[in-house]
Chains A and B, each alone.
Chain A
Amino acid sequence: MNFRMIGKSLSQILLLEAFFMIPAMLICLNDGELDVAACFLITIGTILVIAGTLYLFGRKANTSFFAREGMICVSGCWIAMSLLGCLPFYLSGQIPSYIDALFEIVSGFTTTGSSILSDVEALSRGLLFWRSFSHWIGGMGVLVLLLVFISAKNSNGFTLHLLRAENPGPSVGKLVPRMKKTATLLYVLYLVLTVLDFLFLVFGGMPVFDAVCTAVGTAGTGGFGIKNDSMASYSPYLQNVTTIFMLLFGVNFSCYYLLLIGNIRSFFKDEELKFYFFTVVSSIALIALNIRNSNFALE
């Protein structure tokens, strides 16, 4: 097992996480919540120290990287990111128990969307943003993002085994021959769709902060909202926009690539896409049928 190489890759991933915390910290600074901003700063510092140590450890690694290393690296990456990513919640005291904070961030990174918070609105805006943003990071996978940045040459084994371990299915679906280009394309599509969602929400009168949080949460197909009643207090237009984008982000991104290169025929012939929409539509029908006659009051 090439632990040095794993250490080196982990250090790069943690560096990305530290970078992702910066917007949340800036929001805190903007809101004048210096103590929360300080919590983010401490977390970023901690991450940098750990990443630095790992980098020094893995500096002289030989570059052999196989499936086993890939598995360890991917699981290690999500664990390390969660253990460190929950620190702002814990340090600020807004989620007093470390275990609760960990639950919250794991739920975020895995885009599960379950929460231990009964009063979401009590959190400061920086923390709320970080909470929603964790969906966005988890949605496409931070490892895929890492592949965008590392050099495509002479990293054959590395990129392949990382993506294979990160990918839940039996085989990696590539859009174009090069892993780096595939990863870049995926993130560009992801980013464009997110921005589109954001623009639709802002156009519908949603405050910018709410729109960003909702858009990144929707992009990751997660469930974190920033209101106690989730989307209920927003206008029907905003709810509909979010519904549509939830559906769109659930689609396999390879299909968007087909659209992008103008291969519309293959897009509509895609079995997976057909089944996806069939499942959604039939579920809607069944649920509607099920709740047709029950009148329950909204809480």
Chain B
Amino acid sequence: MKIIIAGIGKVGDMLAKQLSAEGYDLTLVDSNQNILESMIEKYDVMTLNGNCATMPVLRQAGVENAELLIAVSNADEINLLCCMTAHNLNPNIHTIARIRNPEYTEQIYQMRNAFGLSLYVNPEKQAAEKIANLLRFPGFLKRESFAKDRVEIVELRVDANSKLNGVSLSDLNNIVKCQILVCVVLRNKTAIMPNERFVLEPEDRIYVTAPTNVLAFLLKNLGIITKKVSRVILAGGGRVSYYLADDLERGGIDVEIIEKDRERCTELAAMLPTANIVLGDASSQSMLESEGMSECDAVVSLTGLDEMNIVISLYAADMGIPQVITKLGHAEDTMILSRLPIGSVVCPKELCCNTIIRYVRAIHNQSGAAVSVHSIASGLAEAVEFSVDPSTKNCNTPLKSIKIKKNVLIVCISHSGKTEIPNGDSMFHQGDTVIVVTNKVLMQLNDIFE
């Protein structure tokens, strides 16, 4: 399948890496020759230097026989123009544009056909939604929702004094007293798919599948904080802060944004009338203290500098803030960060890429394609959601009599509103939602069978 990526920034780079590894034919278009050369060095792709929103460049990039155009340049307007032009040259092409400016939200939604858009992504908005989700259940490092938010895979860290320390997985259900499944354990930079006899150790990061309605119960039984978040400090006043503050304020949570640019502060104050906007440098510890950091329930580091965010989060964790969330723009190797107590890590470009890759996989396999794909365990494993359709093999057969590939784990089956952590006698029926965790690339549900 031929894909054109227009505009190579952080997201373009990540997409090029992932999609070329998955075997798609990529053409990258950018107006900066240096960036293109570094892409050619890194990935097996073709590049084209030029303005991606012009007809000759798009034609030269082969838009007429491409199936998908992903416009992720840094300007929303160029992305839109690029998609419109491509759609004009090839009416059958799928187009994805990144639109970040909140002011465009309404017209993008209403005019998506006029723009020729199949999908639009907003990394900052996605990140804000993710963070708001985490703040709803403080204690989990990561939450991935599946099956219309009925099932979750959550990440927990096993500390030395945790109730989970030294527990073997077969005894786990006696402690948490609810139906959960540990699907992946991240230990010493490797992802392990544990069996019943596996014993948890400190420093392990575990990924747990659980129905959404038992999450609060799970936190309580594990002795992890259960206090509802009522006051949050956001360090940095960028787009993510705006979306997040808007979302949290509506949920009745007090928000304080610390931003060092005066003009941006005025802007934010106008857009978020109920939020508390403070002019100041969030990296200064005295500043954070004077703003009452020790009394807040959560700190979210959202400045434009990854290093700064890490430092702010380290400081917040040191102060004993129950929930710390760190935004990282680059996050090339989250592995080295997993040892640092910087709380949950949220990476906008990763969220945006996951959405796009899910879409690509879906148009690649029309039937039986993954409904959603989430990378877990620092990208070493993937949790994939499928719906069982008529083409699925082995329907209505107990799992114990199906041969399933190695390193593929069925973690959840959701039948019409009822979710089940499967055992050997479970089976799936047409119309069910199945969640699979694996370290392979799965295109369709049928790929899991031997």
Interfacial residues, chain A to chain B (CB-CB below 8 A): 67, 152-157, 159-161, 164, 171-172, 174, 176-179, 181
For residue B22, which residue of chain A has the nearest CB? A153
A177 partner residues in chain B, CB cutoff 8 A: 2, 25-27, 44-46
- Decide if A67 touches B41 in the complex (CB within 8 Å): yes
Known: A177-B27, A177-B46. A154 touches B21 (CB 8 A): yes
Q: Which of B21, B37, B43, B44 contacts A171 (CB 8 A)?
A: B37
Closest 4 CB pairs of A and B: A177-B25, A177-B46, A179-B44, A174-B46
Interfacial residues, chain B to chain A (CB-CB below 8 A): 2, 20-21, 23, 25-27, 37, 40-46
B21 partner residues in chain A, CB cutoff 8 A: 153-154, 156
B42 partner residues in chain A, CB cutoff 8 A: 156-157, 160
Shortest beta-carbon distance from B196 to chain A in Å: 33
For residue B28, which residue of chain A has the nearest CB? A177
Report the bound CA distance from A74 to B32 in whole Å.
Answer: 30
- Decide if A156 touches B23 in the complex (CB within 8 Å): no
Report the bound CA distance from A159 to B37 in whole Å.
Answer: 15
Report the bound CA distance from A179 to B45 in whole Å.
Answer: 8
18 A–B contacts, CB within 8 A, in A order: A152-B23, A152-B44, A153-B21, A154-B21, A155-B44, A156-B20, A156-B42, A160-B40, A160-B41, A160-B43, A160-B44, A164-B41, A174-B46, A176-B25, A176-B46, A177-B25, A178-B25, A181-B25
Known: A160-B44, A176-B46, A177-B44. A153 touches B27 (CB 8 A): no
B26 partner residues in chain A, CB cutoff 8 A: 177
- Decide if A156 touches B44 in the complex (CB within 8 Å): yes
Report the bound CA distance from A157 to B45 in whole Å.
Answer: 11
B41 partner residues in chain A, CB cutoff 8 A: 67, 160-161, 164
For residue B36, which residue of chain A has the nearest CB? A171
Report the bound CA distance from A178 to B44 in whole Å.
Answer: 6
Report the bound CA distance from A176 to B25 in whole Å.
Answer: 8
- Decide if B40 touches A171 in the complex (CB within 8 Å): yes
For residue A154, which residue of chain B has the nearest CB? B21
Give the A-B pair count, Cβ closer than 8 A.
38
Report the bound CA distance from A74 to B335 in whole Å.
Answer: 34
Report the bound CA distance from A59 to B23 in whole Å.
Answer: 25
A160 partner residues in chain B, CB cutoff 8 A: 40-44
Report the bound CA distance from A179 to B43 in whole Å.
Answer: 10
Other 14 A-B pairs with CB < 8 A, given A172-B40, A177-B45, A178-B44 = A67-B41, A152-B23, A152-B44, A155-B44, A156-B20, A156-B42, A160-B43, A160-B44, A171-B37, A171-B40, A174-B46, A176-B25, A177-B44, A177-B46
- Decide if B40 touches A156 in the complex (CB within 8 Å): no
- Decide if B25 touches A159 in the complex (CB within 8 Å): no
Q: Which of A154, A172, A178 is packed against the most chain B CB atoms within 10 Å?
A: A178
A161 partner residues in chain B, CB cutoff 8 A: 41
Shortest beta-carbon distance from B156 to chain A in Å: 32
B20 partner residues in chain A, CB cutoff 8 A: 156
- Decide if B43 touches A156 in the complex (CB within 8 Å): yes
For residue B441, which residue of chain A has the nearest CB? A153
Report the bound CA distance from A152 to B22 in whole Å.
Answer: 10
A176 partner residues in chain B, CB cutoff 8 A: 25, 46
Shortest beta-carbon distance from A68 to chain B in Å: 12
B44 partner residues in chain A, CB cutoff 8 A: 152, 155-156, 159-160, 177-179
For residue A158, which residue of chain B has the nearest CB? B44
Report the bound CA distance from A292 to B306 in whole Å.
Answer: 74
For residue B25, which residue of chain A has the nearest CB? A177
B37 partner residues in chain A, CB cutoff 8 A: 171
For residue B4, which residue of chain A has the nearest CB? A177
Report the bound CA distance from A160 to B41 in whole Å.
Answer: 7
Report the bound CA distance from A181 to B44 in whole Å.
Answer: 11
Report the bound CA distance from A155 to B23 in whole Å.
Answer: 11
Report the bound CA distance from A172 to B39 in whole Å.
Answer: 12
Q: Which of B2, B26, B44 is packed against the most chain A CB atoms within 10 Å?
A: B44
For residue A170, which residue of chain B has the nearest CB? B37
A172 partner residues in chain B, CB cutoff 8 A: 40
A153 partner residues in chain B, CB cutoff 8 A: 21, 23
Shortest beta-carbon distance from A172 to chain B in Å: 7
For residue A179, which residue of chain B has the nearest CB? B44
B27 partner residues in chain A, CB cutoff 8 A: 177
